[in-house]
Amino acid sequence: MRERKTFETDAYARELKTNILKVFENKGYYCVVLEDSILFPEGGGQPGDRGRIGSANVLDVIHGHSGDTREDIHIVDSLLEPGPTEVHLDWKRRFDHMQQHTGQHLLTAVARGRFGWATTAFHLGPDLCDIELDAPQITRGQRHELEEAVIGEIIAARSVSAFWVTQEEYKTRDVRSRGLPDGHQGDVRLVEIQGLDINTCGGTHMSSTSELECLKLLSAEPIRGGTRLFFIFGKRLRDRMEAHEQRGHQLRTILGRPDDALAAAIEQRIAHEKELERSLRHTEDELADLYAKFMAAEPGTLLVRHFENKDAGFLQKIVRLLLELDNNRAIFVTAEKDGNAFFSLAAGSACEADIPKLGREAAAVLNGKGGGSGRQFQGKFGDLSKLREAAAILRAGVK
């Protein structure tokens, strides 16, 4: 029988004295094999633990093999030597994982018992957890009923325990399981929620459903013909509530409205901003039209103007309007907004200027980059002090 590790027998152990049996490098990482460990290796949807081994930080714990023997590989950030050592668990992270994992067992058991929905997948993420249920659709009412039923089992404070049975005994029990791993040998580890659920699992769990504290089913979405259900238990829920309260306080302060009026106030602000944006676009269109008519009345073969607090889109409007008014001349317009500078060089169909060539020359003078072909060349530049020099080069090249 394989010797059981402390993380399998005592999920609450936070420190351990043991021995480093083996140290090796793999793909640039230091790897350690311990005689015993309180650090859970990634598996069954639960991430590997973090902590310290001696002076080294544990980056991950994974399953490995040495011949036919399973070894748990502790990946650390510095080289260690074989011999006696102390292992320290990142308990805050582990406790969170125990809450979420045990909560998943309870949620799965209630979903199956109350609705007949089987769990087909589980994911324990850093912020949210989710299970996949073989339910094509879960209504809002069903979600609420499921949540209330699980909370009832939390309040009931059912004991949670892990134990081993032989494979022969395992086959005689009513166990929720998707089957043993290929090649599994020896006893089978079961986790039981008293009077509610027994299933195969190698993870770490609370000793009572009461330690789950609370639950919130956050949302549901269709996936692969079933439904993915997002949830959080315990301290994660309390932390999320604290974050929501902080945001709520900020919004109440900014908008000057109570909680139940925040959504309406934000919608009103957004509608007002959209109306302002439409008004601003109309005003800019009118301004571009006026500038184009004003510039078209100027003499010369090259029309030049710089605009403050305008962008490339405004320049495109100016160029389009000017070409509609006069196709005999070239246009060189520039703009600067929020630290960015833009230019556009264009010519009407009756103007013989080589716009791509002149555009490249102007961009070089302006310390800029651009592109184009045919009758227009545009881009961005960095040296506003060179505008007159660039304009002089362009005037010399426009006939």
Q: pLDDT digits over 155-188, tens only?
A: 999 999 999 999 888 888 888 776 676 667 788 9
pLDDT at 376: 93
pLDDT at 171: 84
Ramachandran area for residue 165 (φ above 0: left; ψ -120 to 50: alpha; else beta): beta
* Top-level class of domain 280-397: alpha beta
- Residues 6 or more apart in contact with residue 329 via CB below 8 angstroms: 300, 301, 302, 303, 347, 348, 351, 398
How many residues in total does the chain contain?
399
**Partners of residue 306 on adjacent β-strands:** 334
Q: Where are the domains of the chain?
A: 6-89, 94-242, 280-397
SS3 119: strand
CA-based nearest residue to 224, from 107, 104, 121: 121
Mean predicted lDDT score pLDDT of the chain: 93
Neighbours of 291 (CB within 10 A): 19
Question: What distances in angstroms separate CA 396 from CA 7, 183, 306, one per listed residue?
Answer: 82, 83, 19
**Res. 2 pLDDT band, cuts 50 70 90:** low
Where would I find the beta strands (DSSP E) of the chain?
15-26, 29-34, 51-53, 56-66, 69-76, 83-89, 119-124, 129-133, 160-165, 188-193, 197-200, 215-223, 226-233, 302-308, 330-337, 340-347, 369-373, 376-381
pTM of the model: 0.76
Give, rounded to a whole angstrom, the gap between the first and last alpha carbons of the chain: 94
Domain over 6-89 is classified CATH 3.40.50.12780: no
pLDDT at 179: 66
C-beta separation of 332 from 358 below 8 A: no
Neighbours of 8 (CB within 10 A): 18
Report which of residues 68 and 300 the model is more confident about: 300
pLDDT at 85: 97
- Is the dihedral angle over the CA atoms 162, 168, 169, 171 positive or is it negative? positive
Checking 334-337 for CB contacts under 8 A at 24+ apart, the result is 334/305, 334/306, 334/307, 334/381, 334/387, 335/306, 335/307, 335/308, 335/310, 335/311, 336/306, 336/307, 336/308, 336/309, 336/310, 336/384, 337/308, 337/309, 337/310, 337/311
Q: Exposed/middle/buried for 290, CB within 10 Å: 0-12, 13-18, 19+?
A: exposed
Neighbours of 100 (CB within 10 A): 24
Domain over 94-242 is classified CATH 3.30.980.10: yes
**CA–CA–CA angle 133, 99, 227 (5° rounding):** 15
- 252-283: per-residue pLDDT in tens? 999 999 999 999 999 999 999 999 999 999 99
pLDDT at 183: 62
Cα–Cα distance for residue pair 347/302, rounded to 1 Å = 9
The identity of residue 392, as a single letter, is A
Residue 295's φ and ψ, nearest 5 degrees, are -70, -35
Cα–Cα distance for residue pair 1/4, rounded to 1 Å = 9
Residue range 88-95: mean pLDDT, rounded: 98
